[in-house]
Structure 1
Amino acid sequence: MLAGLLFAAIGGATCRAQAPERPELVFIAPTSNTLPLAEFEGNRLRAGILKDLGEAIAARLQRRARFLPLPSRRVRAALRDGEADGLCYVIPGWLDGQHDWSSVVIPDAALLAGTQQAPELAQLQELEGQAIGTVVGYRYPEVEALLGAGFVRDDAPTMLANLRKLAAQRLPYALAERTSLAYFLRQHPEAGLRTVLTLGRIDARCAFSRKARLPFGQVNQAIDDLLADGSVERILSRYR
């Protein structure tokens, strides 16, 4: 009897040890993002809204999240080719190609931020031909529409570098999202940055590859469920 129990215990442990891992859901983590969206440790996504949200979506689908750090210029190809399943905090105007789009997940706003010394502006067109702080690989459809060829970019490698450059008064104005600017000012109130103009809403969504590892209807339902039960709001509140 003892031998039988011992065999059963060993057999059960072996079955547990050999249990297959949950299938993965791969999210792109653009390396140009910084907190509150993303914090990297080396080439690994360590924290941020994108990590928390991706893990929540994957868990709702009984999958494990894996994050693929990529520079902004490689995002479109990675989604097109199915190298990754999805990317969150994006809008159609930022991302070319055919993708499946979720409901709005993170409401935000596009801003022109400035130093305290920067002159007030009545409209963005007053900056035609003047350098504005931007992030490499980011697209700014509102600004491109208003300034056209007069949009002069001064690219920084990340949003954090963009705002630090502004705080150091290397430029009088920079483009940012409300979420990123508010987080930066909570960490660095002495920076003295302010919102000069609100340029438009950002109804940020998640975009999924047409070659994703599971049907889009399933993942979109998972996102809708996370929105409905307050899970997304609880994630966002951690970074406010």
Structure 2
Amino acid sequence: MRRFLAILSVCSASALAEPSVMRFSIAESWSMPLIRLEDQVPVQGILFDLMQAVAREAEITPQYHVLARLRLEQAMLDGDIDVRCYVASDWLNERPGNFIWSVPLIRQRDLLVGRAGDTLPGGLAQLTAQAIGTVLGYTYPALQPLFAQHLLQREDSRNQDLALQKLQAGRYRYAVSNQLSLQWFNRQQPAEQRLRPLLLLEEQDLGCMVRNDPNIPAQRVLRAMVRLKQSGEVERIVQRYTQAAELQSADQ
């Protein structure tokens, strides 16, 4: 009996020592510097590095689930993912009550972008009767009234990089891009062809949402995010990619 209890104790301790597995969502509309996928597996990028850092800090094993942007909310409601990052509350049609918000992690600036030499002296009032480059499934509160009144038309691309490629190719005159993606895109362009920000549309803090389930270490993950933010590790991850983009642009 004692031997059985000893074996049971060892097995229980071993099971407790095994890292918990948590499912992180990856939006297939993300592109560098946020994330790079190879065969639907994340291998690089700000958000990949951030999720890896969270997993190490919280001592969990991450699983990455690549989903269409429009599928993310339903996946949360169905309990198919445990952590969703790079999200703001006003992006959600429904706010799942069984998810807990993290501290704000990354500041995003959404910009109206044009080609080299373009200007927008009239601001948003100048944008009428034309298509604007957008990303499928993304919301743009500053432009939504113009979309709703059919004064502007969305021209959706699968991801942010494609939207900027189309802008450079002249498919439309303006597009919306977050600042990080614009900097990354421009690093590959000669100075005279770099796209330029024309107008700040919106600026907001983005965080993560963690499923509140007693079967997963939600609070451990949330505390890990607090430590990473307070230690400056989140900013260092972002800077690694933004500085790389700036250095490459400067060399061209």
Q: TM-score, normalised by structure 2?
A: 0.81
Closer/same/farther in 2, CA of residues 129 and 227 from structure 1, 3 Å limit: same
Q: What is the match of residue 50 of structure 1?
A: 47
Matches within 5 A, 1:67-146: 67-97=64-94, 98=96, 99-145=99-145
Rounded to whole Å, the distance in 1 between the matches of 2:119 and 2:228 is 43
Tell me which of 227, 230, 236 is aligned to 1:228: 230
Rounded to whole Å, the distance in 2 between the matches of 1:63 and 1:104 is 21
How many Å apart are 1:209 and its aligned residue?
3.1
SS in structure 2 of the partner of residue 163 of structure 1: helix
2:179 is the counterpart of 1:178: yes
Rounded to whole Å, the distance in 2 between the matches of 1:84 and 1:76 is 10
Summarize deviations over 1:93-112 as a string: whole Å, max 9, x none: 22222242211111121100
- 8 A contact 2:210–2:222 mirrored in 1: no
Q: TM-score, normalised by structure 1?
A: 0.85
Q: What is the match of residue 169 of structure 2?
A: 168
How many Å apart are 1:21 and its aligned residue?
4.6
- 8 A contact 1:113–1:197 mirrored in 2: yes
How many Å apart are 1:64 and its aligned residue?
1.4
Q: Which runs of 5+ in 2 are unaligned?
A: 1-10, 243-252
- 8 A contact 2:20–2:217 mirrored in 1: no
Closer/same/farther in 2, CA of residues 209 and 188 from structure 1, 3 Å limit: farther
Closer/same/farther in 2, CA of residues 217 and 21 from structure 1, 3 Å limit: closer
How many Å apart are 1:222 and its aligned residue?
1.2
SS in structure 2 of the partner of residue 226 of structure 1: helix
Summarize deviations over 1:124-181 as a string: whole Å, max 9, x none: 1321332100011111122114553234100111111001111112111000101110
Tell me which of 220, 223, 226 is aligned to 1:218: 220
- 8 A contact 1:79–1:208 mirrored in 2: no
Q: Partner letter of residue 81 of structure 1?
A: D
Q: Partner letter of residue 142 of structure 2?
A: E
Rounded to whole Å, the distance in 1 between the matches of 2:139 and 2:107 is 18
Q: What is the match of residue 26 of structure 2?
A: 29
**Which range moves more in the overlay, 185-194 or 222-231?**
185-194
SS in structure 2 of the partner of residue 59 of structure 1: helix
Rounded to whole Å, the distance in 1 between the matches of 2:216 and 2:121 is 48
How many Å apart are 1:46 and its aligned residue?
1.7
* RMSD (Å) for aligned C-alpha atoms: 2.1
**Which range moves more in the overlay, 226-235 or 95-104?**
95-104
Rounded to whole Å, the distance in 2 between the matches of 1:48 and 1:134 is 21
Rounded to whole Å, the distance in 2 between the matches of 1:200 and 1:34 is 20
**Kindly, what percent of the aligned residue pairs are identical?**
34
